[in-house]
Every structure is written in structure tokens, then in C-alpha cells.
Amino acid sequence: MTQLQNRPVVRREGINRRGSLEPRDPRSPRRSTAIALVLACATLITLDKTGGALDPARRLVGEVFGPAESAVSTVTRPVTSIPDWLRTRSGMKDDLAKLKSENAKLEQQVRTTAYDRNRLAEYDGLTKAAENIGYAVVPTHVVALGAAQSFHRTATIDAGSASGIKPDMTVVAAQGLVGRVLRVTSTTATVLLIVDGDSTVGGRASSSMKVGFVRGDGQLDGGSLELQLIDQNATPATGDTVVTWGSTKDAPYVSGVPIGQVTSVYSSVRDSSKTAAVQPYVDFGALDLVGVVVPSGTKSDRAIIDADGKLKP
């Protein structure tokens, strides 16, 4: 027993006789290894900052692993680029759809350019016409052409009593006289065209100031007018401009509106009277924007072009 008690006890590192863990020795190999690594890293950082001593080693690593990295990148590039390819394809579809939409809009603009240009020219012309004759006009659009009651050449416009329009008002276009208002509703009006066979307008030859009556021949497209002067001894001059001489209280026609141009003069064998053929300035086969002459200060549900050619709400 004495010998066994005196024998030195051999203990395993970190484990006591009872089998429980003991605190490690500060000088254990694991902590020593960590300290060595930290010192090595500090040394490498210092060398790299100071003199570039690691450049040969860095080049060597690059020469060894560079080709391999390039090969791996070449192999994996088709796979890694799939998401970008999908996003690019989707973006191309969106761009293509956008371009198609823009192209359709441009084509529409090209197709309607002439129409828009003509409408703008008509509006400008109507503005100048209002300024030339010295009357305010309500701009309207022709929405139908046809017959009404006993008249054969009429037009329907998209403005009526709500716009300040009444029967027996003068209707003009940018080029000249169109006709007079026959009847109205709240939103439309029927206009008797001067080319109707039953239409009679007081006209004046501008060069001689001689007055007479202008009648239509009933033809809408390519029709002509006839001017017969009251003074049968007067002869209208070819190329002369015929304008309205005006009515009492400007109804149904105001004065000074261009009607047409004298193209020829012929005499009647029966009564020795002279009649002038007049080509109207207005193309009745292409009526669109027209203006109804209204008194100054008329209340309207739309803008009115005043006698100064300015648009007033």
C-alpha cells in the first residue's frame, strides 16, 4: 500500500483524476498556433506595404491559377449568363412593343397630316374672314349634306340655339359665302346653300358697284351661280368679284361677303337682259369648317371669333 501511495500520478492534459475538464494551460499549442498566425499575417502585411517583397510570389500564384480561373470562367459563362439573357430577351420584347406602338402613332400622324393641315388652314381662313367682313362668327363644322323640306341643297352644322344661332343668319367659310340658316335646334342648324336652285342672294359687282340677284343652279359639286343686274344696260366685267350687298338688319345676309367671280357674260334674246355666270369661291363638295355670323356680344356655349379675328370664350 505504501508503494502505491507514493507512486506519482500521471494525469492527461485537461482531464483530472475524476474525469472532469480542467482549464487549459495558457501555453497550450492551440493558442501558440493562433499567435504564430497573427504574427505571420502582420509580417506579410508589413512586407507588402513597404517594399513589394511579395510581388514575385503574387505573380507566381497568378501564373499558376490564372489559366485555370480563365478556363473555369469560360466553361461556366453560358450558365451564369442565362439570367442576363432572359432579362435581355424580355427587355427586347418590351422595346419592340414600344417601338411598334410609336411607329403606329407616327404612321397615323403621317396619314392625318394633310387633314390636320387643311383644318388649321380653314380655321385661319375663317379667322381672317371674320376680320375682313367685320363681324363676329361662331365656328361650326358641317356634319351632313342633303335635302330639307322643298330645298335640295342644304347642310347640317353642329351648333344651334345654345351657341347663339338663330334662323336667317349668314353662314360663311374661309373662302366666302356659304348660305343662310333655315332653322335651328338646341345643338344643330340647317343651312340653305347658295347653290340651291331656290336660293336668291343680293349681289354687287365690285368694280361697278352695280347690284343684282345671284341664283344657284342646283348643283352641289362643280355648280355655278348666275348674276342678273337690276340695271339691264350694265354689263358685268369678266373676272369681276361679286359680293353680297346686304339685307335689312343684316338678315339673312350681311354685306361685303365674297360670293364668287364672273367667268362669262351672255345676253338673253327674249328680253335683251345680260346675265353673268359666276364661279363660287366656296367648294361646296368639300365643306367642313364654317362660321355663322352673330351680333357682337352674343352668348354662346362655345368660343366666338370676334370682328378683330380674336377668339373669345
In sequence order, what are the residues at sequence separation of 6 or more whose Cβ sits closer than 8 angstroms to the Cβ of residue 13? 25
190 in Cβ contact with 153 (< 8 Å): no
User: Is residue 4 predicted with pLDDT exceeding 70?
Assistant: no
With bands split at pLDDT 50, 70 and 90, how would you rate the model's confidence at 120? confident
Provide the pLDDT for residue 10.
Answer: 47
User: Is residue 114 predicted with pLDDT exceeding 50?
Assistant: yes
In sequence order, what are the residues at sequence separation of 6 or more whose Cβ sits closer than 8 angstroms to the Cβ of residue 111? none
Whole-prediction pTM value? 0.64
Length of the chain as a residue count: 313
Mean pLDDT of the chain: 79
Looking at per-residue pLDDT, the higher value among 90 and 76 belongs to 90
Q: What is the pLDDT of residues 217-263, one digit of tens each?
A: 888 776 789 999 988 888 888 999 999 999 988 999 999 999 999 99
Mean pLDDT of 97-104: 72
CA–CA separation, 194 and 259 (whole Å): 9
Q: Which residue has the cell 492534459?
A: 13
Does residue 252 have a cis peptide bond before it, meaning omega lies within 30 degrees of 0?
A: yes
Q: Which residue has the cell 327674249?
A: 270
CA–CA separation, 280 and 244 (whole Å): 12
Looking at per-residue pLDDT, the higher value among 151 and 192 belongs to 192
Q: What is the pLDDT of residues 26-53, one digit of tens each?
A: 545 566 777 777 676 666 566 555 555 5
CA–CA separation, 313 and 302 (whole Å): 7
Q: Which residue has the cell 356659304?
A: 178
Torsion from C-alpha of 94, 95, 98, 99, nearest 10 degrees: -150
Provide the pLDDT for residue 89.
Answer: 62
Listed by start position, the domains of the chain span 121-312
User: Is residue 306 predicted with pLDDT exceeding 50?
Assistant: yes
CA dihedral sign, ordered 260, 265, 268, 271: positive
CA–CA separation, 187 and 49 (whole Å): 90
CA–CA separation, 16 and 49 (whole Å): 48
CATH of 121-312, one of 2.40.10.350, 3.30.565.10, 3.90.1300.10, 2.60.40.10: 2.40.10.350
